[in-house]
Amino acid sequence: MTVLYVDADACPVKDECIRVGERHKVQIIFVSNSWMRLPEGDLIKRVVVPEGPDEADNWIAERAGKSDVVITADVPLASRCVNTGALVLSPNGKPFREEAIGMRLAMRDLNTHLREIGEIRESGPAFTKQDRSRFLNQLETTMRAAKRQTSS
């Protein structure tokens, strides 16, 4: 059965995850380092992990597998989940795919290094309405694909 895992600490699309997850009648698990206000529902579950680097990532990566959907902006977590067969989306709607994950990890490491040495200062583009719309469309498509994997 498909589960929707959300790396929730800085996720800007929680409401969209709930909307699509409930429409598809899948469990939606929000994983974070602290309690957060979320709507109540039979399909919605909160998991608060201990403080510490990568605790939420580890919790998700240990559970997500084939036919599950993971929402994260964290490239190393995305890589771990893609390797287990999960379908992974970033909050701006861009899918993480096995054939491109190595390049995304390399770009993340390069950008981290450039920020550390002061060559770049910004963290990235602002989240836009177009990102939210692309996310909704892509999550719907991804959820259908995940459910097809479950039935085959």
For the chain, which domains are there?
3-151 (3.40.50)
CB distance 125 to 91 below 8 Å: no
Q: What CA–CA distance (Å, rounded) separates 84 from 62?
A: 9
> Which single residue is written with the structure tokens 């490491």?
109
Structure confidence by residue, pLDDT tens digits, 77-117: 999 999 999 999 999 999 988 766 666 666 666 666 666 77
Arithmetic mean of pLDDT over the chain? 89
Q: Are 133 and 12 in contact (CB under 8 A)?
A: no
**What gap in Å lies between CA 101 and CA 107, rounded to an integer?**
10
Asked whether the predicted pLDDT for residue 21 surpasses 90, the reply is: yes
Proportion of the chain above pLDDT 90, given as a percent: 69
In order of 2, 35, 83, 95, 99, the CA distances from 102 in angstroms are: 26, 33, 11, 14, 7
Residue 46: strand pairing partners: 30
